[in-house]
């Protein structure tokens, strides 16, 4: 049995799959307003199972690295198809970023071949008063708004990325589980790049399985990992000394960055007293084409 800091690391794997991603660099007069826009633009986007997209905040960008020399925040938006991704990007940039004080929206994937004409579509909000321009070599639209102008890049890159990376934290009680999950999230933010955590605060308490035992649903509660069902389900995966399970879900621009984030999450999680086991969510290898084995990423 493999243990890390005395915590059992189950010999299992997370099952991952491809999705299309768009990456938006939001700039503003200060980091506060860039982050406000980022948080609003990534709302209602935890899981494509029930949300219109998967999205999250990647992290801050210094003013020295942005096209307009202002502080910024990068977000990622995911969908199964490019056409659906484009619609989500138009909606979220138009409704959540353009409406936010002082913001501008630039492409965060400028080197990708696939392009989505997001700014080109949003320009019509200018009602004929919009103006094409260039900022730091990027083609943008200047859309007049009551505050002044909203600047949005003409097109945004789209690429195949990785979704569904995850770990499961099995703890003795809710307090230990939550502290461990919080530590895992913080470790990812500090030590991993190019990833997002789409669930609230980076933590999911209601992990799901594909389909349902009783109803016609695309997904339902992951009953083998529900502590309150331990005595009623023969396929329970919850040990007797575990009373709380949290999931950390990770999407990223490539497989390596997701692996890195998963490893950092595990190493931080096992440092918290009360953690009994680390596992991962999978569907027997039948759902996602990519598998990340926990033992391998910790080596």
Instruction: Return the CATH architecture of domain 18-159.
Output: 2-Layer Sandwich (3.30)
pLDDT, residue 285, reads 74
pLDDT, residue 16, reads 96
Collapsing DSSP to helix, strand or coil, 299 comes out as coil
pLDDT, tens digit (0-9, with 9 covering 90-100), for 52-106: 999 999 999 999 999 999 999 999 999 999 999 999 999 999 999 999 999 999 9
Same fold, 3-15+163-298 and 18-159: yes
Segment 37-60 shows an average pLDDT of 98
Percent of the chain with pLDDT over 70: 100
Give first-to-last CA distance, the chain, whole Å: 15
φ, ψ (nearest 5 deg) of residue 277: -155, 150
pLDDT, residue 119, reads 98
Q: In the structure, what pLDDT confidence band is assigned to residue 286 with cuts at 50, 70 and 90?
A: confident
DSSP sequence for 100-168: STT-EEEES-TT-S-EE-HHHHHGGGGTT--EEEEETTEEEEEEEETTEEEEEES-EEEEEEEEEEEEE
pLDDT, tens digit (0-9, with 9 covering 90-100), for 213-231: 999 999 999 999 999 999 9
143 pLDDT higher than 80:
yes
CATH number of 3-15+163-298: 3.30.70.520
Q: Report domain extents, the chain.
A: 3-15+163-298, 18-159
DSSP sequence for 232-277: T-TT----TT--EEEEEEEEESSHHHHHHHHHHHHHHHTTSTTEEE
């Amino acid at each position: 049995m493999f243990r890390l800091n005395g915590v059992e690391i189950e010999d299992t794997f997370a099952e991952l799959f491809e999705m299309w991603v768009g990456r938006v660099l939001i700039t503003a007069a200060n980091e506060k307003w860039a982050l406000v826009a980022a948080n609003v633009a990534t709302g209602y986007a935890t899981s494509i199972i029930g949300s219109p997209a998967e999205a999250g905040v990647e992290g801050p960008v210094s003013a020295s690295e942005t096209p307009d020399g202002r502080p910024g925040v990068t977000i990622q938006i995911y969908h199964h198809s490019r056409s659906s991704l484009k619609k989500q990007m138009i909606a979220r940039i138009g409704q959540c970023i353009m409406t936010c004080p002082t913001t501008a929206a630039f492409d965060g994937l400028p080197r990708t071949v696939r392009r989505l004409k997001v700014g080109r579509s949003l320009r019509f909000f200018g009602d004929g008063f919009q103006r094409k321009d260039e900022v730091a070599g990027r083609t943008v639209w200047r859309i007049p708004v009551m505050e002044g102008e909203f600047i949005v890049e003409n097109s945004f890159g789209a690429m195949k990325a990785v979704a569904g990376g995850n770990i499961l934290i099995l703890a003795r009680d809710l307090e230990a589980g939550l502290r461990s999950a919080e530590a895992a999230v913080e470790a990812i933010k500090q030590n991993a790049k190019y990833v997002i955590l789409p669930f609230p605060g980076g933590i999911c308490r209601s992990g799901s399985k594909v389909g349902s035992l009783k109803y016609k649903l695309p997904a339902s509660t992951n009953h083998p990992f529900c502590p309150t069902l331990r005595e009623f389900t023969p396929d329970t995966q919850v040990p007797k000394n575990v009373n709380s399970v949290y999931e950390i879900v990770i999407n990223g621009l490539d497989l390596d960055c997701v692996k890195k984030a998963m490893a950092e999450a595990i190493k931080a999680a096992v440092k918290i007293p009360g953690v009994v086991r680390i596992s991962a969510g999978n569907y027997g290898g039948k759902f996602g084409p990519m598998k990340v084995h926990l033992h391998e990423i910790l080596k």
